[in-house]
Amino acid sequence: MTLMALTLDLDDTLWPVWPAIERAESLLWQWLHQHAPATAAVHDTRTLRTLRNEVERAHPEWQHDLSRIRRESIRLALQQQGEDPALADAAFEVFFAARQQVELYADVLPALDRLAARWPILALSNGNADVQRVGLGRYFAGSLSAREFGIGKPEPAIFHAACERLGATPDQVLHIGDDVALDIDGALQAGLRAAWVRRADSAAQPQRAPHHTVADLLALAEALGA
């Protein structure tokens, strides 16, 4: 079957996610220090993240919406210290803007130049990065997030919805990602082809062999003849 389109994971496939998150959390705390001093006085970035994780555990139905989890954790932190919970919206926007300031892996731009010249690419992510705000929008035919769709990878439905947006059947689409369970197992179970971008050694192994296993996106472009 001819390859007609690509779906592409974002975090840890195109950039390392944790440096961006940590920087965003630091800027969030600085904003709170200025605008919600009582909250900042009892929290640092570590305890704010702990609270965020507690909210995620308490609300598994929000698992697909990382923005809501983060915003609600900020609101809870404010409420606990008797400060205005409405400040959570502005505080979250500070976090969210910084979260889009990512440092791409060196291979990403030259690889996307080659891949996007051959196939339409749809961003497919469980996270809350925005390819337009990151500055990569020109390479993508569109995007589909877990937040928008209501469920995330590895559920087959989100992969199938991505294929529909691309106007292709699952066996005509190659999904590219770094996460063994979410990206590789998820794509293969949904009937797509899968390319594992294995940037670091991992003890985890996919349940079935992906169609491609590569160290970076340029190696994948080479393997696909792009």
* In the chain, where the domains are located: 5-16+103-224, 17-99
Short-list 188, 69, 87, 204, CA closest to 127: 69
Backbone angles phi, psi at 11, to 5 degrees: -60, 130
pLDDT tens, position by position, 44-82: 999 999 999 999 999 999 989 999 999 999 999 999 999
Q: Tell me the average pLDDT of the chain.
A: 96
Residue 201: pLDDT above 90? no
pLDDT band at 113 (very low <50, low <70, confident <90, very high): very high
Short-list 148, 168, 172, CA closest to 158: 148
Say if residues 187 and 181 touch (Cβ distance below 8 Å): no
Active site residue 9: yes
Distance spanning both ends of the chain, measured CA to CA: 17
Enter the pTM of the model. Answer: 0.91
Residue-wise DSSP of 139-191: G-SEEEEHHHHSS-TTSHHHHHHHHHHHT--GGGEEEEES-IIIIIIHHHHTT
pLDDT tens, position by position, 114-133: 999 999 999 999 999 999 99
Class of the CATH-defined domain 17-99:
mainly alpha
Superfamily of domain 5-16+103-224: HAD superfamily/HAD-like (3.40.50.1000)
Q: What is the CA radius of gyration of the chain?
A: 19
